[in-house]
Structure 1
Amino acid sequence: MPHQAGRTRWRRFAAILVTSISACAVLGIAMAQGALAASFFISGQTFKIAADTLTARGVSIYSMVDVTRKHELVPVVVTGTRHATISGLCQSVLVDIPVLGPQTLRITSGYERPATASNLFLDITSQSADEAQFKGLDIGVAQGAITKGPINPGDRNSRFFDPDGVGQQADSSTLTQVRWTTVALSSSTFNLPDLRLQLKPGNHECF
């Protein structure tokens, strides 16, 4: 009986682990090959992304509502950029595994060479930065009139996208020591040099 119980716990752990690794692979690895669709159901779980520096060309910021597979609605702010250069990138998701407790799946890149992305979209619930610099900034532009930065095609065709809503755009921006809490990330291309993926017991999130 103890042997059977041990196998049951291991199977449960393996199922949760595979699910979490698959989710992170979609966000951090398959994404690098342009594998993500323009729109998708979100899991609803937040994950954290941090960067020492993010330099972006063609910036858009607009409101949106994401949807889970259970049809739960999650309001977010979408930050889009046509091209981004990211130094010191860290991405983490905290998973609570029965018996073993919390485990952190953590991805890092861009510490020796910067990561780069095109048509990058972050669906965030919070953001902070030590410093933010914008060039060619427009605040209050209608979301349907944003031209300097991209709009995710899946968002533009969504019933939750308000073309008359308040948006923001800029020719470029530079953020230092930036931190995002986000529910989704997508990109048409994402180059992640010196990629490192680790599963650590306990809480070892990026911030």
Structure 2
Amino acid sequence: MHTCDCHTHHHQPPDGRTHWRRFGVLFGLSAAAVAGLLTLMTNGALAASFSVSGQQFKVSADQLVANGFVQYGTVDARTEPGAGSQRPEPVAVSAMKNATLTNLCQSVVTDLGDFGSVTLKIKAGTGKDPVTATNMVVDMTNLDGNAKFQDMEIGRDAATLDKGPTNDPAEVAQRREGFFSQQADKVTITNLKQVAWATTAGEFNLTGLSLRLKWGKDECF
């Protein structure tokens, strides 16, 4: 598989608006591949960080700056609320060695049936000190924003990625041979809006943390 030598173009890093939907098509995940990967995960042949809940959450930030960035497609095992069963959930994984986020907001809405819904909202990094994270991994379905990549490689074999975190064997094991991926020395995303199933980090420092529960829907965007 061809790997672009992007170092010859580092003086003009890609800069544009990112809008990823239909991520299964982007990463070439057919229905058969999704089912096969879930079978491997269930049988323990493919590592997964954890089984994700059946609730997505939204994240927004004025700016995210990350160093050592890799991105590839995989499949999470999603547990349906109250059902106890799992189903395959294709995701785009973004992993980064370290990151800072300015004016971070995270929200999740829970449906309580006849009682309506309630929103859990977290805010941090709204002052002079941003949120910081190391070895952060995000399993997402949607991402909107204005992105600038430095020293980027697009279309690399996911099994050969070498710019992202290396401390999580479960995450590294998800980088499947022959699957599409991309990586960059650095990425800056402004006006970030993201819908995700899971986030993990070696360290996550939420400066100026505010956590609130509110009846009804009060999402970050």
Same fold (TM over 0.5): yes
Q: Residue 154 of structure 1 aligns with which residue?
A: 170
1:170 partner letter: A
Q: Which of 124, 137, 142 pairs up with 1:121?
A: 137
**Partner of residue 170, structure 1:** 184
Give 1:116 deviation, angstroms: 0.2
CA RMSD of aligned residues (A): 1.4
Letter in 2 for 1:51: A
1:56 aligns with 2:66: yes
2:94 counterpart (79, 99, 121): 79
Distance between the aligned counterparts of 2:172 and 2:100, measured in 1? 25
Aligned residue identity for 1:114: P
Task: Give the distance between the partners of 1:136 and 1:166, measured in 2 at CA.
Answer: 17
Tell me what 2:9 maps to: none
Partner of 1:88: 103
Please state whether the residue corresponding to 1:68 is helix, strand or coil: strand
In 1, Cα distance between equivalents of 2:150 and 2:171? 25
Which residues of 2 match residues 9-158 of structure 1 at below 5 A? 39-69=49-79, 70-112=85-127, 113-129=129-145, 131-150=146-165, 152-158=168-174
CA distance in 2, matches of 1:89, 1:204: 15
Shift of 1:111: 0.5
- Aligned to 2:86, the other structure's residue is in SS state coil
User: Secondary structure of the residue that 1:154 maps to in structure 2?
Assistant: helix
Residue 201 of structure 1: how far off its partner (Å): 1.2
2 CA distance for matches of 1:54 and 1:101? Answer: 33
Match of 2:8 in 1: none
User: Alignment length, in residue pairs?
Assistant: 167
Where do 1:180-199 residues align within 5 Å? Answer: 180-199=194-213
Structure with the higher helix share, 1 or 2: 1
Deviation at 1:156, TM superposition (A): 3.2
**Separation (CA, whole Å) in 2 of partners of 1:80 and 1:136:** 16
Q: What amino acid is aligned across from residue 176 of structure 1 in structure 2?
A: T
Q: TM-score, normalised by structure 1?
A: 0.77
Distance (Å, rounded) in 2 between the aligned partners of 1:202 and 1:78? 30
Give, in angstroms, the shift of residue 202 of structure 1.
1.2
Deviations 1:22-81 (A, max 9, x none): xxxxxxxxxxxxxxxx71111121110111100000000000100024221000000111
Give distance in 1, aligned partners of 2:171 and 2:97. 16
CA deviation profile, 1:141-191 (whole Å, cap 9, x unmatched): 110111111265213335xx4221110000001000111100011001000
Secondary structure (helix, strand or coil) at the match of 1:136 reads strand
